[in-house]
Homo-oligomer: A and B are copies of this chain.
Amino acid sequence: MEIEVLRLGHRLPRDERISTHVALVARAFGARSITYSGQHDAGLEESVKKICETWGGPFKIKYNPDWRNLIKNFRGIKVHLTVYGEPLQNIIDNLRETPRDVLIILGGPKVPSEVYQLADFNISITLQPHSEVSALSIFLHEFFRGKELMKTFENAKVRVIPQPRGKKTLFLNNAPD
């Protein structure tokens, strides 16, 4: 079972940082990849690749403007996170048990109504407006029951050594100068 994230309608320069944060949450909380549609953004891809090189793991970022076909052709469960959907807590227990891959679709205020139809589940987290970034993190945190908090990443060049005060990082083999 693998999780992929689809970020719809990326706009430049407006979404640069939000989409970067969405991608970093996808990686840190256990998704395998993120695909974004909308405007192509080499800077976004570069930022995410740099994080992956330094912090490790097999996470990938991809661009695909044809989100409709991506959703249609996805073999697995399609979950759309939206303020208008059904409450997470009513659905997550069933979803967790799936052996199938999961596609998490993240939009914004102007998601085409077609997305609501193409998704197997439209899920809301709190029924209040907040953020794609927080919605994705809470979904993955609940999906993995918090196990993602202990996740480690292979081939990392740097690792944080947790401290009650201050910063401590360990530079591993192939560390940058």
Give me the interface of A with B, judged by CB distance under 8 Å: 14-15, 17-18, 21, 24-25, 27-29, 51, 55, 82-89, 113, 116-117, 121-122, 124-131, 133-134, 136-138, 141-142, 146, 148-151, 153, 159-160, 162-169
Contact = CB atoms under 8 A, between A and B. Distances in A.
B84 A130 contact: no
17 contacts: A15-B17, A21-B134, A24-B128, A24-B129, A24-B130, A85-B163, A86-B162, A86-B164, A89-B146, A113-B166, A116-B167, A122-B165, A122-B166, A124-B162, A126-B151, A137-B138, A138-B141
7 closest A-B pairs by CB? A134-B137, A21-B131, A28-B128, A133-B133, A84-B167, A28-B130, A24-B130
A125 B146 CA distance: 10
Contacts of A17: 14-15, 17-18
B21 A133 contact: yes
Contacts of A24: 128-131
A150 B18 CA distance: 26
Contact of A84 (B14, B136, B160): B160
